[in-house]
Amino acid sequence: MSSSLRVLGIDPGLTRCGVGIVDVDRARRATLVHVGVVRTPSDADLAERLAAVAAGIRAAIEEHRPDAVAVERVFAQHNVQTVMGTAQASGVALLIAAEAGLPAATHTPSEVKAAVTGYGSADKRQVQAMIARILRLDTPPQPADAADALAIALCHAWRRGASGAATGGALTPAQRAWADAERVARTYVRPAR
To 5 degrees, how large is the angle CA 151–CA 157–CA 133?
45
Measure the CA–CA gap between 108 and 45, rounded to whole angstroms.
28
The three-state secondary structure class of 39 is: strand
How would you classify residue 171: left for phi > 0, otherwise alpha for psi between -120 and 50, otherwise beta?
Answer: beta
* CA atoms of 72 and 110, how far apart (whole Å): 10
Residue 166 binned pLDDT confidence (cut-offs 50, 70, 90): very low
pLDDT at 64: 98
Round the average pLDDT of the chain to a whole number and report it: 86
Could you confirm whether 72 is annotated as catalytic?
yes
pTM exceeds 0.85: no
Of 74, 103, 100, which is closest to residue 7 (Cα–Cα)? Answer: 103
pLDDT score, position 192: 54
Say if residue 45 carries a ligand binding annotation: no
> Which of the following is catalytic: 23, 111, 145, 148?
145
DSSP secondary structure of 3-31? SEEEEEEEE--SSEEEEEEEEEETT--EE
**pLDDT score of 173:** 58
145 assigned to a ligand binding site = yes
pLDDT of residue 13 exceeding 90, the answer is yes
Mean pLDDT of 59-72: 97
Of the candidates 11, 23, 111, 148, the residue annotated as catalytic is: 11
- Domains defined for the chain, CATH in brackets: 4-187 (3.30.420.10)
Report the percentage of the chain scoring pLDDT > 90: 69
CA distance 153 to 67: 11
* 87-139 residue pLDDT tens: 999 999 999 999 999 999 999 999 999 999 998 889 989 999 999 999 999 99
Which of 72, 111, 148, 182 is catalytic? The answer is: 72
Indicate the pLDDT class of residue 162, thresholds 50, 70 and 90: very low
Query: 11 catalytic, yes or no?
Result: yes
Residue 182 has pLDDT above 70, yes or no: no
C-alpha distances (whole Å) from 6 to each of 60, 128, 193 are: 12, 20, 45
User: Once rounded to an integer, what is the mean pLDDT over residues 37-43?
Assistant: 96
11 is in an annotated binding site: yes
